[in-house]
Amino acid sequence: MACTSLSKSALPLLQTRKPKSPSAPPLHLFPPKSSHSPLFGLKLSSPKFSSPTLSSPRPPICAKVSKGSVPPNFNLKDQNGKNVSLSNYKGKPVVVYFYPADETPGCTKEACAFRDSYEKFKKAGAEVVGISGDDPSSHKAFASKYRLPFTLLSDEGNKVRKQWGVPSDLFGTLPGRETYVLDKKGVVQLVYNNQFQPEKHVDETLKLLQSL
Nearest to 80 by CA among 15, 150, 14, 168: 150
Instruction: Look at residue 192 and give its three-state secondary structure.
Output: strand
CA dihedral sign, ordered 98, 101, 107, 113 = positive
Q: Are 97 and 41 in contact (CB under 8 A)?
A: no
Element (H, E) at 129: strand 127-132
Task: Say how far apart CA 73 and CA 65 lie, in whole Å.
Answer: 12
Nearby residues of 136 by Cβ (< 8 Å), 6 or more positions away: 77, 78, 79, 80, 81, 154
Q: Is 62 a catalytic residue?
A: no
DSSP state of 87: G
Neighbours of 52 (CB within 10 A): 6
Query: Active-site positions?
Result: 107
